[in-house]
Each structure stands twice: as structure tokens, then as C-alpha cells.
Structure 1
Amino acid sequence: MSIVDPRSGAPLTAPQEPSSPSRDTAPSDEQLIVDVDHNNIQQLLELSMQVPVLLDCWAPWCQPCKALMPILEKLTREYRGAFILAKLNIEDNQEIAAQLGVRSVPDVKLISQGGLVDHFQGALPEKEVREWLGRYFPAPEDAPASPEEQAAEALAQGDAATARALYEQLVQQNPDHAPYQVELARALVAESRSEEALALLDNLPPEERDAAPARGVRASIEFREEAPGDDELAALAGRDDSEARYKRALRQVADGDYESGLEGLLEVMRRDRGYGDDVARKTLLRVFDALGADHPLTVTYRRRLFTLLY
């Protein structure tokens, strides 16, 4: 079974043993990436009986589509035949788009055995696309860490300068991808460049500026401003009252030791719920905002806070 690439006229053939092709026999771009229209959509569906097809529904006016497409093409080459990438311009193929139920773009559909397996919408960052593909395909053994993964790892290891440089490259390459700008702001905060981080966040579109990730970076800046300095912290040594416990916890949060800080805030609540007009509970909620709703520490300590309250 073959399909014709409209760009080159070359036949597109399903690669043999797509899950484990050798480097020497890696399929070419003409075999892996194809433009789709009414002339070959049926061939593509038939091809999906032999090898899965990743159908990228896009439009020329869609900026997120332009950010996502290079990521999909890169990953298609990395997977070397585990699936075919088919690109459908919905402006030129509105009837096909309607039949496929495409309502907004980018819309990426995984098709296998002639049927829809799964799909996602929006310009996901590379890490999330990899995770999505990982549900259905073994990761390439020699796949290098993406710049996004390298940046996140550098930030986690305390190498803020490297993380910032990598995020700057990602922002330059994907200027409309707000999550990269938020992570760049996070790296700037880690370098004690809070004013630059705030300026970056202030320039985001309103829906991104007010979303949880950006709010979390702002919260981390506030913690740094509120936390006691080294001299004040030294003066608290040996004290075991609520003020000392609260300020030590605040400093731990500001330093990125979130688990110790959360534990300390809970302890203030246990011992003196009324301290500072319930400031320990309010600060816990701000830390949750900074970490994000899905962070493991947020999940754990939100549950412990609920147990303590009720």
C-alpha cells in the first residue's frame, strides 16, 4: 500500500518493522511526512491499517500551529517509522476537516486501523507531546533530551543560568508559546532577576498572565521579598514561638525547600491557628498556587490541610 506525497510525487510506503527500525535503514522524510488532501486521504486511512498515522490539522493563519509543527516533524524523525506524520491544511480541505470533526487548530489525531485512537488540541510543548506519544509508542532508545527537558533539569539542579539560556532559545524559536515565557520568568527569579521576570509576565496575554503557572511565579517572587534575611534568621535561632516558626518556614519556601516550608506552615497551624490572622493557612494556599495544582507536594499537603481543618 502506498500514498503519493503531493510535494514530490514520491510514493510513501509503510516502513517495515516500525517499532524498531535500524539507524542504517531509517526511512526518509518523504516516507515519514506527507501533505494530505482530497486526492490521498483515502490512501492515508488505508495506510493506517499497516502503520499508525499522526494527522496534524493546521491552518496558515494559526500561530500555535506554526509552533507545534516543527515539534511533530522532529519527533516523527526521532521515532523513525513508528508512525507517519500527515499534515492537513483545513483551509484548503474544509470538507475533510468537517468530516473529521475539526473545530479548532491545531488538532492532532492518532489514527490506527482506520479509526481514531486519540487526539489533542493546542500547541503542547515538546515534553507534553513526548508524554502523549509515550502512551502508544516506545520512546526511541537514543532520543536526546529536548531543550525543554534540559532546561527543566538544569533549573531543578539549581543551575539557573543554564536553564535561563535554554528557555531564552525556546522563546526565540517559539515567540507565541506562553509557557516557555513563564518558565523563562521562573529561571530569572532563580537568578534573583525578579524585575525582569515580572516584566516578562506583565507582557503575556491576559489569559496566560492570570493563569496558575504565571501566578505561581509571581508568588515565588513575593516569597523572596517577604522572607527574612540571613541576619534576621540568625536572630530567630533558638526561638520556638509562632513568629519564629512562620518566618523559618517562609524562608524555606523562598529558598525552594518547599516540603520543609509546607511542613513548618502546617505546624504553625497546629500550634497556633490564630497566629497572624490565620497567615499560615493563607500562605499554604499561596505555595500551592506557586507549585501548581498537579504538583505532588500540592496534592499531599492540600489533603493534609483539609484533614487538619475538618
Structure 2
Amino acid sequence: MSIVDPRNGAPLTAPQQSTPSPQEAAPGDEQLIIDVDRNNIQQVLEVSMQVPVLLDCWAPWCQPCKTLMPLLEKLTREYRGSFLLAKLNIEENQEIAAQLGVRSVPDVKLISQGGLVDHFQGALPEKEIREWLSRYFPAPEDAPASPEEQAAEALAQGDAATARTLYEQLVQQHPEHYPYQVELARALVAEGRSEEALALLDNLPPEERDAAPARGVRASVEFRKEAPSDDELAALAGRDDSEANFKRALRQVADGDYEAGLEGLLGVMRKDRGYGDDAARLTLLRVFDALGADHPLTVTYRRKLFTLLY
């Protein structure tokens, strides 16, 4: 089998003196993606002396492999020749798989200059694969936003329905990547479907269910129950007393505008330390717990709270 340089279509047989830019050509799949077996594995290793090779070790019975392979193919096309994608069916090439040290699939190995540079196992989410690739290759300038980025942007823009749909797709593709389930719950809360969100969180493994991200979603449900409605918020317009300011801050926290809410709660404490039996301080502590001890807002506002108290 003849292998060509995915960057320019030239046959790869010997080291080249110069390397054309990956952006000089838009190679087809036949140049970017190949199948590997015992007949061409040695040539693939030789090719890696000139162009890095991403070796995807898979098996027909492996369901995560079926999720990962289309993603790798998409990224390979997107990177337009920065690397070659070589696919190895370990069932048909068990000797090669053993020589490569493949113990479970999917197993993706980055090979350059004939040697192993790095590898990852499992069907990682697209964002994590992009981060892994970014260690070795510059990101394409026209790279589209990943589904995860699209979902987060939709949620930030208040389009909870779109975010929920995207997270549902990500959960289906990566059922064991629990952060997607937490974000799906967050989108459900934003849609007003809090009970569904809580049920989803209840089904997470204990270590995920009790971690800060999931606690934050639960807290947002609690804050939404306590926060004023749109009509109640409108009735507070123009008021600058402790009750109005506390309720506005509570609504901001419930809506996920944590920084504004934390600032508002501190403002209530500065003007009326004892309001509501210390309600502002106690709510601040609840927000800290929801965000997690290492969250930048927790660190910043815990320090502000300490300064205010002492």
C-alpha cells in the first residue's frame, strides 16, 4: 500500500528537505486516514519520521470505539495534515497490538520520529481530545466550536432549551463522563425543570453527587425556591432597603449571576449586619459551599467577608 503525505499528496518514501504548511492543501480522506495492518505497519512507522501519526487502536465489539472514531476522523480533517490518522483493528492484528502494548481499547497513540510520544485511553470528550492535541499541534484557525462549548455558550446566553439538547446528546455519547450530566441538570434547572434535574443528580455516583458542581446545581434549585419571582422582583424596583437588596441578591444567585449576588449580599451586611438573623452572611456561606472552596469567587469573597467581619 502506498502512503502519501497528507499535507501535499506526495508519496512518502524518504525524508524530505522541507515541510510544506498543512494549510497549503485540503487533502482528501484517502490521504489523511488509513487502515493499518501487518502489510503496512512498518511503512506507517517510517512515515512518522516525516509526519506525526495518530494511531487509533480499536475493536469491532468496542462501543466506545464507535463513538471515538468518527470524532478522531473529524478532527483529523479539521487539522488538515498536521498528522495522519491510522486505524488499527486489534482483533485482526493481535500480534501488532501486543507489540504496541495495547491492553484495552480505544487506545490512541501519538507516534513521531518512529517512537511513542503520548497516548490516551477511552472515548474522551471532544474538548479533552482537543486539549490533548493542543500540546503538540497548533489549533486550526477556523476550528468550529465544540458541542460542549456551544452548549455552555447557549446556557450563558439564556437559551436553556438549546443547551439542554446539546448536553443530552453529549450525555448519550459519553454516558460515563459525569460532568456532562451535571451540566445537563444545570440546563434543566434553567428551563424550570428542577425536579428532573434533581432526579438526574440523584443517580450520579456518590463522589460526583456530593462534589461541588452538583452541589452548586442543587443550591441553585434551593435558591430559586427562595428567590423572588419576576413579579415580586418588579415590585421591589426603586427600593433600597435591606429586604429588597437581599431578595435581589438572592435572585441573582438563583440565576447563576454569582458575582453580582455575592456583592449584593456583602452590601446588605455592610448596611445592616443583623438583617434577617444574619441571613446575608449565612447565604454567603451557602453560596461558597455551592461553588466549592477552590472557586475563584469563593476565594475572593471569603476574603472580603473576613475583612468585613474582622
Please report the TM-score for the alignment, with normalisation by the length of structure 1. 0.75
Task: State, as a whole percentage, how many aligned pairs show the same letter.
Answer: 73
- In the TM superposition, residue 287 of structure 1 has moved relative to its aligned partner by 3.3
Single out whichever of 231-240 and 45-54 deviates more from structure 2. Answer: 231-240
Change (3 A) 1:126 1:306: same
Residue 107 of structure 1 contacts residue 122 of structure 1 at CA under 8 Å; is this kept in 2? yes
Instruction: Provide the residue aligned with 2:22 in structure 1.
Output: 19
Structure 1: how far apart are the matches of 2:107 and 2:212?
24
Confirm or deny that 1:301 pairs with 2:304. no
Structure 2: how far apart are the matches of 1:58 and 1:126?
17
The CA RMSD measured in Å over matched residues stands at 3.6
Structure 1: how far apart are the matches of 2:300 and 2:93?
49
SS in 2 for 1:20: helix
Structure 1: how far apart are the matches of 2:207 and 2:66?
20
Show CA shifts across 1:147-185 (max 9, x none). Answer: 333222221111222222333444455556544443332
Structure 1: how far apart are the matches of 2:209 and 2:66?
22
- In the TM superposition, residue 57 of structure 1 has moved relative to its aligned partner by 3.2
- In the TM superposition, residue 277 of structure 1 has moved relative to its aligned partner by 10
The one-letter amino acid of 1:305's match is R
SS in 2 for 1:123: coil
Instruction: Provide the residue aligned with 2:129 in structure 1.
Output: 129
Structure 2: how far apart are the matches of 1:59 and 1:195?
40
Aligned residues: 290
Instruction: Provide the residue aligned with 1:194 in structure 2.
Output: 194
Instruction: Provide the residue aligned with 1:279 in structure 2.
Output: 282
Confirm or deny that 1:160 pairs with 2:144. no
Change (3 A) 1:239 1:46: same
- In the TM superposition, residue 73 of structure 1 has moved relative to its aligned partner by 1.1
Change (3 A) 1:81 1:232: same
SS in 2 for 1:110: strand
Instruction: Provide the residue aligned with 1:8 in structure 2.
Output: none
Instruction: Provide the residue aligned with 2:34 in structure 1.
Output: 34
Structure 2: how far apart are the matches of 1:59 and 1:268?
61
- In the TM superposition, residue 83 of structure 1 has moved relative to its aligned partner by 0.8
Change (3 A) 1:148 1:284: closer
Among residues 234, 240, 243, which one is paired with 1:238 in the alignment?
Answer: 240
Instruction: Provide the residue aligned with 2:15 in structure 1.
Output: none
Structure 2: how far apart are the matches of 1:133 and 1:98?
25
Matches within 5 A, 1:34-113: 34-90=34-90, 93=93, 96-97=96-97, 99-102=99-102, 104-113=104-113
SS in 1 for 2:139: coil
Instruction: Provide the residue aligned with 1:229 in structure 2.
Output: 229
Unaligned runs of at least 5 residues, structure 2? 9-19
- In the TM superposition, residue 75 of structure 1 has moved relative to its aligned partner by 0.9
Residue 259 of structure 2 contacts residue 297 of structure 2 at CA under 8 Å; is this kept in 1? no
- In the TM superposition, residue 71 of structure 1 has moved relative to its aligned partner by 1.0
- In the TM superposition, residue 253 of structure 1 has moved relative to its aligned partner by 1.0
Residue 262 of structure 1 contacts residue 301 of structure 1 at CA under 8 Å; is this kept in 2? no
Matches within 5 A, 1:201-220: 201-204=201-204, 208-220=208-220
Change (3 A) 1:143 1:119: same
Structure 2: how far apart are the matches of 1:50 and 1:87?
18
Residue 262 of structure 2 contacts residue 284 of structure 2 at CA under 8 Å; is this kept in 1? no
Change (3 A) 1:114 1:155: same
Show CA shifts across 1:29-71 (max 9, x none). Answer: 2322233344433322221111111122334454333322221
SS in 2 for 1:49: coil
The one-letter amino acid of 1:20's match is Q
Instruction: Provide the residue aligned with 1:147 in structure 2.
Output: 147
Show CA shifts across 1:68-121 (max 9, x none). Answer: 222111111222221111233445555555554555543333222223333333
SS in 2 for 1:119: strand
